[in-house]
């Protein structure tokens, strides 16, 4: 057999024999910017894995207002952040469609929490995602991804529309920006810590 | 250095998943979660009872140089996650790879880990 090219050493988990791997989900409806968010902050080029899902849902994907999204396989994108000698954080971008519930179970198991990306222009599309997150008992924060030209929103109105608990954090972020994405994650982790203590 | 793009990964779509896995079913999810860390075992720990398939050989070679998670192995090989899990399960049984499942969730452990995550993020991006 041909010898296969090996990966760059940076592809490997540094100190893998002692590292604790943890994960946070980055969730949101179709094309809300999950992949962009993960790409802006990951130390590795984001990877994608797929599961063979039924193609039955092909016709029902809501493509309204979303160009160039014709994916029929269920791919989840993920990235990695080595945070210390002890902890390596994985960010998994999860499709919000209800019919991928099996994949959700896989993703949610053992997750520290979830960051819900929201497009203020398509608020109603986030309802199902938030329902799922709550159903799996995950704590979460809302990150409003500001696209160019998205309408300015009132936080109170957004909280009302999404029926959020008073202590659920809402932040604005630009998923393309590393610092902005990191700030959203920090807000989430602070919230998770409050909940854990 | 080479990238995963250069790997000969064009074959999998031509082979149905159950052929690659020789008809084996999905292993216990807890053991091979998305973020379970995997590395190749030392030669003396291996119990070669059969010839490895090209896909198994590929996984073994990928994790020979260090630790990767189950999800990363699936990403680099472009094999479906379920297939990778089944292959890794067989490789673990044969002593070819060592797996390190993530710590179980418990609130005390969580708080400690969350603090580490928070400190890490702030140190990196703060």
- Strand duo A47-51 + A113-118: pairing: unpaired
Alpha carbon distance A170, A105 (integer Å): 25
What average pLDDT is seen over chain B? 82
- Interface touch A12/B75, C-beta < 8 Å: no
Tell whether A7 is covered by a domain. no
Q: Is residue A22 part of a domain?
A: yes
- The mean pLDDT of chain A is 83
What is the full DSSP assignment across B41-101?
PPGGG----SPPPHHHHHHHHHGGGSBEEHHHHHHHHT--HHHHHHHHHHHHHTTSEEEEP
Residues of B with Cβ-Cβ distance to A109 under 8 angstroms: 29, 33
B118 touches chain A (CB under 8 A): yes
Domain-embedded: residue A1: no
How many other C-beta atoms lie within 10 A of the C-beta of residue A26? 31
Is residue A80 within 8 Å of A14, Cβ to Cβ?
A: no
Residue A42 lies inside a defined structural domain of this protein: yes
How many structural domains are present in chain A? 1
Q: Coil, helix or strand for A148?
A: coil
Query: Looking at the domain assignment, is residue A13 inside a domain?
Result: no
pLDDT tens digits along A79-113: 999 999 999 999 999 876 656 666 777 888 889 99
In the predicted structure, residue B25 carries a pLDDT above the cut 70: no
Instruction: Report the CATH number that the domain containing residue B92 is assigned in CATH.
Output: 1.10.10.10
Q: What torsion, rounded to 10 degrees, do the Cα atoms A77, A83, A85, A88 define?
A: -20
The CA–CA distances, whole Å, from B31 to A29, A90, B46, B84 equal 30, 17, 19, 13
Q: Which residues of A118-152 are buried (b: 16+ CB within 10 A; e: fewer)?
A: bbbebbebbeebbebbeebebbbbbbbbbeeeeee
> Domain range holding B47?
4-125
B42 in reach of chain A (CB within 8 A): no
- The residue range of the domain holding A39 is 18-196
A160 Cα to chain B: minimum distance (Å)? 29
Residues in B touching A17 (Cβ below 8 Å): 39, 67, 100
Containing A191, the helix (H) or strand (E) segment is: helix A178-196
| Residue B68 contacts A where some CB pair is shorter than 8 Å | yes
- Among all residues of chain B, which has the CA nearest to that of A50? B80
CA distance B45 to chain A (A): 17
Is the separation of the CB atoms in B42 and B97 below 8 Å? Answer: no
Q: Give a yes or no: residue A61 inside a domain.
A: yes
Of the residues A8, A19, A86, A189, the best mutation for testing chain B's interface (the one with the most B CB atoms within 10 Å of its CB) is: A189
pLDDT of residue B102: 84
pLDDT digits (tens, 9 = 90+) for B38-67: 999 998 888 877 789 999 999 999 999 999
- Contact status of A132 with chain B (Cβ, < 8 Å): no
Task: Please name the member of B58, B62, B121 whose beta carbon is closest to the beta carbon of A83.
Answer: B121
Predicted confidence (pLDDT) per residue in A115-124, tens digit = 999 998 888 8
**What CATH code is carried by the domain that includes residue A91?**
3.40.50.300
In which band, very low, low, confident or very high, does the pLDDT at A26 lie, cut at 50, 70 and 90? very high
Looking only at the bridges linking them, the beta strands covering A113-118 and A170-173 are unpaired
Is residue B6 scored above 80 in pLDDT? no
**How many structural domains comprise chain B?**
1
Size of interface A-B (CB pairs under 8 A): 160
| In-domain check, residue A6 | no
Q: Is A4 part of any domain?
A: no
């Amino acid at each position: 057999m041909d010898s296969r090219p090996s990966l760059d050493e940076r592809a490997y988990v540094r100190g893998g024999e002692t590292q604790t791997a943890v994960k946070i989900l980055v969730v949101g409806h179709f094309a809300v910017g999950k992949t962009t968010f993960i790409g802006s902050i990951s130390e590795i080029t984001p990877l994608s894995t797929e599961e063979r899902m039924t193609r039955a849902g092909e016709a029902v994907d809501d493509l309204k207002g979303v160009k160039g999204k014709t994916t029929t396989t269920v791919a989840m994108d993920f990235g990695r952040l080595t945070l210390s000698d002890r902890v390596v954080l994985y960010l998994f971008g999860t499709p919000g469609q209800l019919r991928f519930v099996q994949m959700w179970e896989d993703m949610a198991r053992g997750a520290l929490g979830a960051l819900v990306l929201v497009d203020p222009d398509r608020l109603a599309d986030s309802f199902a995602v938030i329902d799922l997150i709550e159903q799996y008992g995950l704590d979460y924060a809302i990150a409003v991804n500001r696209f160019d030209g998205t309408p300015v929103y009132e936080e109170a109105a957004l909280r009302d529309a999404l029926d959020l608990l008073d202590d659920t954090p809402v932040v604005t972020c630009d998923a393309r920006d590393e610092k902005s994405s990191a700030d959203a994650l920090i807000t989430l982790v602070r919230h998770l810590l409050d909940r854990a203590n | 250095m080479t990238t995963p793009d250069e790997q000969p990964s064009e074959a999998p779509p031509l082979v149905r998943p159950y052929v690659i896995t020789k008809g084996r079913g999905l292993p216990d999810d807890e053991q091979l979660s998305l973020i379970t860390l995997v590395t190749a075992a030392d030669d003396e720990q291996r119990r070669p009872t059969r010839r490895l398939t090209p896909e198994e050989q590929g996984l073994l070679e990928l994790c020979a140089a260090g630790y990767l998670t189950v999800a990363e192995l699936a990403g680099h090989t472009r094999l479906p996650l379920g297939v990778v899990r089944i292959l890794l399960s067989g490789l673990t049984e044969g002593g070819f790879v060592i797996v390190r499942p993530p710590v179980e969730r418990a609130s005390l452990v969580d708080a400690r880990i969350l603090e580490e995550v928070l400190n890490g993020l702030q140190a990196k991006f703060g």
